[in-house]
């Protein structure tokens, strides 16, 4: 019998809007679902497509401040735009729109349900497309993130006595998740991301390694602009893979942001679906119960392709490298020229690549010196 898997989805995911000019487009969730359905991945015998439901407030309170939640609810129901910059609400980055609190609760509920299915129902993997809001702090919205679904779900797993690895593949450092577990030895937080030098959120350097009993349980691999597929795989193979194996978690929680790709309009990495697929396959081979979330990605076709690949890997399905004809016909009418699901491995230009290689080798050396003795011995 094939291992059970669950895809968490709701047609309500794309019923809201951050604004016409905002880079976060909720339509990416529907486009991703349409692509995986075009491959037949919504009809797999071992897989269940589960309707997302809103998270309960008591679960939110395991991380978020009640006053912050109350202000969110107040602004969400207001007929006129509101702002409270103390809580990061109502600015260009984190706009307030009607129903935004309910929308955030729906995405968070999807991740909490994914964690429950894996921890309690024996699912091998559960994937919430509309998750991965890793910048939200306990009392402040940040980076398009209002509620930190990863932290809420991990807190539920910790309450059940589970040890968790949180792996973040988004181009932006997951500062909200790091903040939550910086002094914990029950969650190993690993992040591969574009360096915070001149890049949001300005954190996630390799000397951020945890504090107190959490020392050694926060691991950051900052990548310089123009890091490419081989460098991404190198960082994963030499840092991430051995640390996950050494920690030996009960549950693997991953944020699968697709904004690392070289055509993303907000980032400067040169990664493609080649190394993304490589990493996902190595994670799947670990056979650790797996909770996955979407995340960043501001080129809609990149996110659709990435998350379709991820769902295929979780189910052990090999997908055609060419996009299905009916999906190509659909996206052509929307102006997208894409024809392939997967990309060839990409190398950056030599000068930029050499700088990025030197930087990642320095980070790997620092991690081996400071982190490996704690976790590997």
Task: Provide mean pLDDT across the span 247-253.
Answer: 98
> What is the reported pLDDT for 15?
86
In whole angstroms, what is the distance from residue 56 CA to residue 54 CA? 7
Place of tokens 């960043």: 296
> What is the reported pLDDT for 3?
94
pLDDT value at 134 more than 80:
yes
Please provide the DSSP assignment of 169-229 as one string.
Answer: -SSS--HHHHHHHTT-SSEEEEEEEE-STTSTT----TT----GGGTTSEEEEEE-TT-BH
pLDDT value at 377 more than 80:
no
In whole angstroms, what is the distance from residue 270 CA to residue 262 CA? 4
The model's pLDDT over 54-93, given as tens digits with 9 standing for 90+, comes to: 999 999 999 999 999 999 999 999 988 899 999 999 999 9
The residues assigned a catalytic role are 135
Evaluate whether 184 touches 214 at the Cβ level (below 8 Å). yes
Coil, strand or helix: which one is 246?
helix
The two three-digit tokens of residue 278, written as one number: 């490589």
> What is the reported pLDDT for 12?
92
Q: Which helix (H) or strand (E) holds 249?
A: none
Coil, strand or helix: which one is 94?
coil
Give the predicted TM-score (pTM) of the model: 0.97
Split at pLDDT 50, 70, 90, the class of 261 is very high
The two three-digit tokens of residue 138, written as one number: 């306990």
Neighbours of 53 (CB within 10 A): 14
Please provide the DSSP assignment of 293-317 as one string.
Answer: E----SSHHHHHHHHHHHHHHHTT-
In whole angstroms, what is the distance from residue 95 CA to residue 90 CA? 4
Coil, strand or helix: which one is 83?
coil
Instruction: Give every CB contact of residue 77 below 8 A, 6+ residues apart in sequence.
Output: 98, 101
In whole angstroms, what is the distance from residue 138 CA to residue 151 CA? 10
Neighbours of 261 (CB within 10 A): 26
In whole angstroms, what is the distance from residue 222 CA to residue 208 CA? 11
Instruction: Give every CB contact of residue 91 below 8 A, 6+ residues apart in sequence.
Output: 83, 85
> What is the reported pLDDT for 1?
74
Task: Provide mean pLDDT across the span 329-342.
Answer: 93
Place of tokens 């359905």: 37
Instruction: Give every CB contact of residue 197 below 8 A, 6+ residues apart in sequence.
Output: 222
Domain that holds residue 352: 5-375
In whole angstroms, what is the distance from residue 370 CA to residue 195 CA? 19
Q: Which of 281, 258, 259, 262 is nearest to 271 (CA)?
A: 262
CATH of the domain at 63: 3.40.800.20
Counted domains in the chain: 1
Split at pLDDT 50, 70, 90, the class of 150 is very high
Please provide the DSSP assignment of 145-170 as one string.
Answer: BSS-HHHHHHHHHHHTT--EEEEE-S
Instruction: Give every CB contact of residue 354 below 8 A, 6+ residues apart in sequence.
Output: none
Which range, of 7-16, 165-174, 286-295, 363-372, averages the lowest pLDDT? 7-16
> What is the reported pLDDT for 327?
96
* 7-41 CB burial, b ≥16 within 10 A, e <16: bbbbebbbeebbeeebebbbebbbbbbbbbbbbeb
**DSSP letter assigned to residue 269:** -
Evaluate whether 303 touches 170 at the Cβ level (below 8 Å). no
What is the separation, in whole angstroms, between the first and last Cα of the chain?
A: 38
In whole angstroms, what is the distance from residue 62 CA to residue 66 CA? 10
The model's pLDDT over 184-229, given as tens digits with 9 standing for 90+, comes to: 999 999 999 999 999 999 999 999 999 999 999 999 999 999 999 9
């Amino acid at each position: 019998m094939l291992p059970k898997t669950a895809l968490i989805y709701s047609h309500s995911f794309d019923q809201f809007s951050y604004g016409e000019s905002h880079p976060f487009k909720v339509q990416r969730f529907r486009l991703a679902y349409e692509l995986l359905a075009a491959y037949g991945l919504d009809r797999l015998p071992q897989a269940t497509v589960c309707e997302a439901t809103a998270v309960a407030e008591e679960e939110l309170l395991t991380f978020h401040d009640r006053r912050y939640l109350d202000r969110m609810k107040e602004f969400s129901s207001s007929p006129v735009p509101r702002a409270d910059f103390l809580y990061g609400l109502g600015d260009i980055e984190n706009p307030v729109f009607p129903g935004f609190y309910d929308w955030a609760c729906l995405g968070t509920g999807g991740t909490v349900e994914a964690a429950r299915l894996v921890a309690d129902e024996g699912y091998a993997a559960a994937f919430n497309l509309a998750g991965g809001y890793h910048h939200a702090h306990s009392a402040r919205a940040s980076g398009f993130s209002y509620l930190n679904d990863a932290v809420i779900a991990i807190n539920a797993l910790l309450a059940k006595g589970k040890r968790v690895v949180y792996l973040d593949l988004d181009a932006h450092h997951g500062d909200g998740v790091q903040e939550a577990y910086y002094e914990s030895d029950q969650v190993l937080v690993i992040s591969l991301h574009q360096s915070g030098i001149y890049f949001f959120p300005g954190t996630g350097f390799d000397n951020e390694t945890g504090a107190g009993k959490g020392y050694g349980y926060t691991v950051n691999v900052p990548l310089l602009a123009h890091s490419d597929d081989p460098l991404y795989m190198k960082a994963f193979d030499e840092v991430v893979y051995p640390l996950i194996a050494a920690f030996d978690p009960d549950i693997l929680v991953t944020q699968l942001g697709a904004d690392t790709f070289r055509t993303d309009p907000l980032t400067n990495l040169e990664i493609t679906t080649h190394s993304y697929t490589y990493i996902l396959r190595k994670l799947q081979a670990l056979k650790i119960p797996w909770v996955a979330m979407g995340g960043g990605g501001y080129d809609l076709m990149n996110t659709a392709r990435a998350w379709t690949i991820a769902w295929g890997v979780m189910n052990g399905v090999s997908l055609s490298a060419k996009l299905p004809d009916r999906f190509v016909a659909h996206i052509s009418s929307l102006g997208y020229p894409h024809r392939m699901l997967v990309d060839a491995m990409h190398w950056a230009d030599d000068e930029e690549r050499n700088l990025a290689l030197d930087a990642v080798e320095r980070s790997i050396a620092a991690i081996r010196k400071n982190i490996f003795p704690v976790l590997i011995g």
